[in-house]
Chains A and B, each alone.
Chain A
């Protein structure tokens, strides 16, 4: 089921989301997975909001990021279409989160 959803999403995505057509190197999905990982991590562990709120807070377009939260290690992993992924980890109270 999950694979089918991902394939469906892939078909709906514009070519720009997966290709490098712009001024900078990373495509939309690379940016979205990194954004979602970092800002979801900050939302949960710096702003101290719950997972439901943070899903709404980081909702982006394209909406293909899968989000896994490891609350014990304060780590957030994201992935899109099994090709792109992101991760961010909370360091400490002063320094918040950083992409890995």
Chain B
């Protein structure tokens, strides 16, 4: 074949290759620093900004009573620009905040990166990567992404009975030395893939398998080198257990600005500045109600995809649209005491919120989105 024919053949292949790796056109990302448009937004929409601020930052009672909303940080971004930013209770833009279960969604992204790098497949058995988990060979990566391992897991926190809590036992009790085998050693309540149950254990187990897959080729710094560094995130801390496995369901830390970077990455389909970091379709799966969730009698008031919450109605189990004031394409991460990365693709909007809400606050996510949406029109470019 002549050189010209080779070139023609290569050119013919190019569109499909380009398509397979395409990133969203026209997507805007922050540079090494954010563009600050907060003053312009405040001038253009003073009532909207005041309403958001009053809702988020008005404290209830004395601090020690731990009542109501206790917002520590709130950043609203669009197109690489900060529309609103404020901090409370002694936090600043440079202080990291504990993410609790928002860490799970980051673990889900790292699983996607392992798939993109060709070292993990969603239907791999756990023990393909962790032979020590021989009792869990029937469980797949997909089962964990869907929170459908089938383990008899009690997702109980400090307001329940401590000694009945699988979470407290894992983080602070007998499991803390080695969280991965602790989770995998639980009895089963259902066959893998057949029943959804939100489980911090499943997220820890997922991170254990992701680490086993990525570490040999990419080293043990993969959460930073393969993800956070690429997004310009400088604040990420991820704590480990004594066996050096990451606490992939609980103990991540970020500044709100860096949470907004992660949200922007999710908004733009797992791409950053033209580089495809997640496999094509990974975010689509992350944003789709998973089959186990659809097939399980309603346990949660919000729909679930892959390690991520969704504002979707699920008629199969009688779940109505969880947040009627938010667009139906909204998806988000959620952590204990009010840590959120909320993405509203139809408005190109990302909301990062940290807090210390020790008591339940009704309609919190709905009202946060409702108050942030009026800012989404942005300002003139």
Contact = CB atoms under 8 A, between A and B. Distances in A.
Query: Size class of A's contact patch?
Result: 20 to 34
A53 B224 CA distance: 29
Contacts of B251: 42, 96
Given A53-B90, A96-B253, A48 B239 contact: no
Nearest to A35: B172
B173 A34 contact: yes
A22 B163 contact: yes
A97 interface: yes
Interface stretch (A1-9, A24-32, A68-76): A24-32
Interface string B148-170: 00000010001001111110110
Contacts of B161: 16, 22
Interface in B159-194: 161-166, 168-169, 171-174, 176
Interface residues of B, number: 34
A39 B176 CA distance: 13
Contacts of A49: 90, 95
Contact of B253 (A21, A31, A46): A46
A46 B96 contact: yes
Contact of B169 (A21, A24, A39, A60): A24
B261 interface: no
A27 B115 CA distance: 40
Interface centre among B64, B166, B176 (most CB of A within 10 A): B176
A19 B162 CA distance: 12
Contacts of B357: none
Interface in A43-81: 46-49, 53, 56-57, 60-61
B220 to A, nearest CB: 10
A94 B253 contact: no
B97 interface: yes
Interface string B247-261: 000010100000000
Contacts of B165: 24
B96 A26 contact: no
B53 interface: no
A48 B63 contact: no
Given A21-B163, A53-B90, A96-B253, A46 B237 contact: yes
Given A16-B163, A22-B162, A26-B169, A96 B90 contact: no
A96 B161 CA distance: 28
A46 B90 CA distance: 15
B164 A99 contact: no
A97 B356 contact: no
Contacts of A56: 63-64
A20 B163 contact: yes
B90 A38 contact: no
Nearest to B242: A98
Contacts of B172: 26, 31, 34-35, 38, 99
A30 B173 contact: yes
Given A34-B173, A57-B356, A98-B242, A23 B95 contact: no
A22 B161 CA distance: 8
A25 B174 contact: yes
Nearest to B354: A47
B168 A35 contact: yes
Interface centre among B97, B162, B236, B251 (most CB of A within 10 A): B162
Contacts of A98: 239-242
B169 A42 contact: no
A20 to B, nearest CB: 7
Contacts of B173: 24-26, 30-31, 34
B71 to A, nearest CB: 15
B133 interface: no
14 contacts: A22-B163, A23-B154, A24-B163, A31-B173, A32-B162, A35-B168, A35-B172, A46-B239, A48-B96, A49-B95, A60-B158, A94-B238, A96-B253, A98-B239
Q: What 9 A-B pairs are tightest by C-beta distance, nearest first?
A: A22-B163, A26-B173, A24-B169, A34-B172, A96-B239, A96-B237, A35-B172, A25-B174, A28-B162
Interface of B: 63-64, 90, 95-98, 154, 158, 161-166, 168-169, 171-174, 176, 221, 224, 236-242, 251, 253, 356
